[in-house]
Amino acid sequence: MKVFCGRANPTTGAVEWLEEDEHYDYHQEIARSSYADMLHDKDRGLTQETWRPQFPRPMCPPGPQELPEPLLQADTKNVKYYQGIHAAVSRVKGRGQKATVLDIGTGTGLLSMMAVKAGADFCYAVEVFKPMADAAVKIVEKNGLSDKIKIINKHSTEVTVGQDGDMQCRANILVTELFDTELIGEGALPSYEHAHRHLVEAECEAVPHRATVYAQLVESRRMWSWNKLFPIHVQTGDDQNVLLSPSEMENCPGAPSVYDIQLNQVPRDDFTILSDVLTMFSVDFSKQVHSKPACHVIQFESVGSGKAQVVLSWWDIDMDPEGKIKCSMAPYWVHSDPTNIQWRDHWMQCVYFLPREELVAQDETLYLAAQRDDYCVWYNLQKTRYEAIRSDSHGERPVCECQAHLLWNRPRFGELNDQNRTDQYVQALKKVVKTDSVCLCISDGSLLPILAHCLGAEQVFTIENSAVSHRLMKKIFKANHLEEKINVIEKRPELLIPADLENKKVSVLLAEPFFTTSLLPWHNLYFWYARTAVAQHLTPDITVFPQSASLHMVVVEFKDLWRIRSPCGNCEGFDVHIMDDMIKNSLDFREAQEAEPHPLWEYPCRSLSEPQEVMTFDFRQPVPQQMLHTAGSVTLLKVSVSGTPTANRRFTSSAPFLNVGPGWTLMLSPTLSSFIPALVILSWISGSHPEKIPLTFKLENK
């Protein structure tokens, strides 16, 4: 069955009605889930074949007491889970009991299959997402384990126990993988709480057994720039203007959401450590878990002086009660082996911004409070025990009060705080803004109108077509005494009438361009459509800033990011090809033809081609009626057979990351002018090693 769905086109700004398959949202969910990343979190050197010669139990990993030290220290999630499950089954069997496993959020059924191979008598595997549950049924059957694993397509809180229930009896082993970067963000606590009350025995074994959350207090101007608007200096001739943020923005606690990033890519000199690593709290999953709000306060002595601005946080999980089988998300500067850190994109590290920065002195006694509800964690720094206790009783989750954090995401804050970027805009604007200029800015929450006014423009208008951006920019203009100097228009460009511009013609059309609806670089081409829509309000000799944009690309080889789309095939000895096929089908549904936005600074790569200009867009002219199209090829710098280096140009590494062979996927990184990079995924369609890759780019004017 087909359904019609309204979808906003970020490039044109129009809502388009498209005919979609009734399961299109399932396909999108699967394609964007990065399930493959979780399956690739494994030890490539530890396989069923390497276990068998030393351990006779078929397809069963050794227990922690049997595992060689290098493998015991390996920080691969799937191996750790396998070890923990084997140990839990052994403990239950050692007590003379049958091992009945409850696997919540089973996904592919991998953990349940591990449990059966470790000796479990029966497994109940719960998966709420129907396409995933259907795939798990097929995967379990493919591996010949259907007689011992029952897939239950329900939310775990809806599962029943009893003769006519989903489960015949309560389980005595609880296995889950319900965690996200923040540990509890996927609802782990309520799920555990319900399971202990209704689905598992009182003295159950849990894998993982416990989780521990760590924090470290730091000063970091770079990270703080992702949260607050700094004073911005505008040099105009002999004068210098300083743009200030409103007091409401200065005092705002910020967005309540955690900022999860690949902290291992942040240079050590980007932050100053102000505390040791602090153990904030632990959750024992083998006992009754409570999801009600809680506050954990830790007293500590600061190890340095500076501005306390940011809390860096991560967690680890112990798969067994003794803590011998541990999986850690620790960043490189505190990791036991910084040169051998397992890459993950599903579990990273957390950046929490304090509600306000605090000056601290070395050896000062401080109190860090980690507060949580059932889904989120947030931090407060206190200087007295009384304040710490008070924060426990007033533990409301912080909410943005200034609206800037609703309009601007973290990278956007960093962009606006880039003084070098502002200086370049000022230098360019000096060439086009005159004392008789009538300027119109089309960007969301841009500071260009202020720059144009500081440079002496006669009149400045700015279009803010959302209520949030309209209110925010008015506050910023008022804080800088510009509320009477810059006119804010809350309209879409195509609805503009002469009266909105005081019946004046625009001589300078400005844009960064930046729009909050833009997910990919070329979505910012909305400016081109907006420029076309306001053409009647422009002077014949209009100056458009910027005059043009260009789309560039380069073929790159990623050190790790390729894993999120790479087929897994077999995982810890289990055939998961069905999962690979499901992801491929969903990608082929639409996502394979669309680019993915990624913050590429977090993902090391090296170039396999020279940068190449693909398209140019002349903003001085209206959008052409015909479709823009370009085709060509990219020459690889060096291509060789699998097993030898593939290129000699590197961005971040002195050693080859991957080997190009038949079926490998190459990724392109197109960028539109200075916008955020994105990815296009191209697959090789043959087993040969061509020197050129054919490419086609299209831009449709709908």
CA distance linking residue 355 with residue 251, whole number of Å: 8
- Residue 458 designated active-site: no
Partners of 312 in the β-ladder = 216, 351
Residue with structure tokens 């030290």? 69
Bridging pattern class, strands 671-672 and 548-553: antiparallel
Query: Is residue 223 within 8 Å of 310, Cβ to Cβ?
Result: yes
Query: Is residue 544 within 8 Å of 531, Cβ to Cβ?
Result: yes
Task: Kindly report whether the peptide bond that precedes residue 513 is cis, defined as omega within 30 degrees of 0.
Answer: yes
- Two tokens at 10? 């970020």
Residue 106's closest CA among 72, 75, 67, 145?
145
Partners of 282 in the β-ladder = 212
Catalytic residue among 177, 205, 219, 358: 177
H or E element in which residue 291 lies: none
- Residue 613 designated active-site: no
Query: Is residue 526 within 8 Å of 582, Cβ to Cβ?
Result: no
Neighbouring residues of 611: CB distance < 8 A, sequence distance ≥ 6: 552, 553, 554
- Two tokens at 326? 């541990």
Query: Is residue 140 within 8 Å of 124, Cβ to Cβ?
Result: no
Supply the DSSP symbol for 109.
T
Burial category of 617 from C-beta neighbours within 10 Å (exposed 0-12, middle 13-18, buried 19 and up): buried
**How far is CA 135 from each of CA 23, 53, 106, 132, 316, rounded to the nearest angstrom?**
15, 32, 11, 5, 29
CA distance linking residue 431 with residue 55, whole number of Å: 75
CA distance linking residue 413 with residue 230, whole number of Å: 9
Neighbouring residues of 470: CB distance < 8 A, sequence distance ≥ 6: 464, 488, 490
CA distance linking residue 545 with residue 547, whole number of Å: 5
Residue 131's closest CA among 153, 161, 100?
153
Residue 680's CB is within 10 A of a number of other CB atoms, namely 19
Neighbouring residues of 165: CB distance < 8 A, sequence distance ≥ 6: 159
Catalytic residue among 20, 29, 186, 490: 186
Residues catalogued as catalytic: 177, 186
